[in-house]
Each structure stands twice: as structure tokens, then as C-alpha cells.
Amino acid sequence: MTYDEHVDNLARTLATRPSRRGFVASLVAGALAIAGVSQATAKPGKSKGKGKAKGAGQPKVGICHQTGDGGYVFISVAQPAAAAHQRNHGDVVCPTSDDPCLGYRSCDQTSGACLTEPVGDGTACTDAEGMAGTCQSGVCTVAVESPPGGERAEGGPEA
């Protein structure tokens, strides 16, 4: 979720509770800063401040972040912020995918469980036999060339 989307969610929430606007705005701004989500980190190359944003250059982790309406949204935060998200929001930190062609990129809206989706076609991968290939529709595909002379890969000529 981008910075602007967080702000829009906050604005919708606060529209129904004007007496709490200042308190909630401060609380959300602080939580977003702790999580490493800021306008500078949400829009690379458009930083308004000097230097790097908090969390920039640190390893990122995926989180299913609870929204104010009971749903979940997938966000990527600096690894040190993950514990605060779990503690303060009950967010779910997504594990690292064992499959090189599937990554955690979305969340179940009811449970907050991390869901896998295929990575981009053409992403480099290594299959179970250690062969280099590329991801195609979520599957590591290795291009196998036919040996010269029409021989089968098992070693004998084709019958």
C-alpha cells in the first residue's frame, strides 16, 4: 500500500469520527514512520527530504497488514519494523517462499494469511535438479536442447 493509499484510508476512517482526528492522525503517522512507510519510501525518487528514508537499504519483509475495516493489505517493510507490526497491530509476517517462482504478494482478506502469486515471467530460477532456468507462469522452466545426431537424452539413438 502506498503512502497516499494509507492517507486515503485514514481520511475515510476519520470522516466518521471528527472528534478523534488529531489523535488518530498522530497515532497513524507514528505507526507508519515506525514501519518505514513514508512518502519518501513509498515513492522512490520523489523524496522531499535529504538523505535516505528510514529503513532504506535494509532487507524487506512482506506483511499482511490489518486495515481499519477488518481486512488485510500486503505491504513490504524494513525487516526491523516487522516485530513492531506484529506487536502493535497483530499483523502477519509472511515467510520466505521456498519456491523461486512463487512469492508472497497478497493476503487472505478474512484470516490475514499470506498468499503466493507467481513472480514475473523471465525471473531467473534453479529447478529441483539444480538446473538454471526462468520462471514461466509460476513454474521454473529449463530449456533443454536436443543433442546432435537425434540421440535421446538417455544416451541411445531414437528408435
pLDDT 10s digits, 75-133: 999 999 999 988 988 899 999 888 999 998 899 999 999 999 999 999 999 988 899 99
Work out the average pLDDT over 63-84: 90
Name the helix (H) or strand (E) containing 9.
helix 3-15
Instruction: Give the span between the Cα atoms of 60 and 82, in whole angstroms.
Output: 9
Task: Say how far apart CA 75 and CA 139 lie, in whole Å.
Answer: 24
Separation of alpha carbons 138 and 148, rounded Å: 31
Confidence class for position 47, pLDDT limits 50, 70, 90: very low
- Mean pLDDT, range 21-49, rounded to an integer: 48
Q: What does pLDDT average to over the chain?
A: 74
**What was the pLDDT predicted at 22?**
52
pLDDT at residue 112 in the model: 92
Q: How large is the average pLDDT for residues 125-143?
A: 92
Q: How confident is the model at residue 38 (pLDDT cuts 50, 70, 90)?
A: very low
Separation CA 124–CA 103 (nearest Å): 13
For residue 135, pLDDT beyond 70: yes
Task: Output the pLDDT for position 54.
Answer: 63
Residue 5 — pLDDT band, cuts 50, 70, 90? low
